[in-house]
Amino acid sequence: MISTSRKPRAFAPDPAAPGLQCDTPGCEHAGEYRAPKSRTSLREFHWFCLDHVRAYNAGWDYYRGMAPEEIEVEIRADSSWQRPTWPLGQQGKQARLDEAAEAELHAFAFGTRPKAPPKQDIPAELREALGIFGLAWPVAFATVKAKYKELAKRHHPDANNGSKQSEEMLKHVNLAYAALRAKLATAPQAPAD
């Protein structure tokens, strides 16, 4: 199949050329090719003819005049498109650690701790279930599920030689899990503990 759209060749004149004469002194050709003026002004251009833009590009060195340390910093910044980066899973972790350290220093210096934000009231229908699971409100469903698996294994009658007490406890665990699952399935999720 033959393609009807063709990409412009690399040495084709710039379609946005202003129609000026080549910036090289003494050249009479049209300046149809742009080249940046300097490293610090990459959006300002010289306009050259094809021969002079080739000569300019051959002598262009973006890093000219920079110390090796500056070049290293520039290369590292370019590897992430000039955007800030951090290790995966670490975003905000340092800020939380700094905040905790600040609270500890405040407590040491002034003998008091800053007031913690008020906790949300526990829904009445979940107080008993949370007590059975030994969890605090608010709680994420993933935490409830993990705790349920742990308690079900611990209190299963097969793991306790058919103990009636374990069987009763497992019933309470199952009822508590059902209540928490019903509530957390309809409520917005709290952050994982």
Three-state DSSP state, 186:
helix
pLDDT-above-70 percentage for the chain: 79
Task: Read off the CATH number of the domain in which 147 is found.
Answer: 1.10.287.110
pLDDT tens-digit series, residues 55-103: 998 988 888 888 999 999 888 888 888 777 766 655 666 667 777 788 7
Rounded to whole angstroms, the Cα distance separating 174 from 148 reads 8
For residue 39, give its domain range. 13-83
pLDDT tens-digit series, residues 130-185: 888 888 887 888 888 888 888 888 888 887 777 788 888 888 889 888 888 888 77
The answer to the question of residue 98 being in a domain is no
Give me 48's structure tokens: 């050259």
The answer to the question of residue 78 being in a domain is yes
**The pLDDT value given to residue 55:** 93
Q: Give yes or no: residues 179 and 128 share one domain.
A: yes
Give me 95's structure tokens: 């800020």
* Structural domains in the chain (count): 2
Backbone angles phi, psi at 9, to 5 degrees: -70, 155
CB 56 within 8 A of CB 46: yes
The answer to the question of residue 104 being in a domain is no
The answer to the question of residue 22 being in a domain is yes
The answer to the question of residue 106 being in a domain is no
pLDDT tens-digit series, residues 102-135: 878 777 777 665 555 555 677 777 888 888 888 8
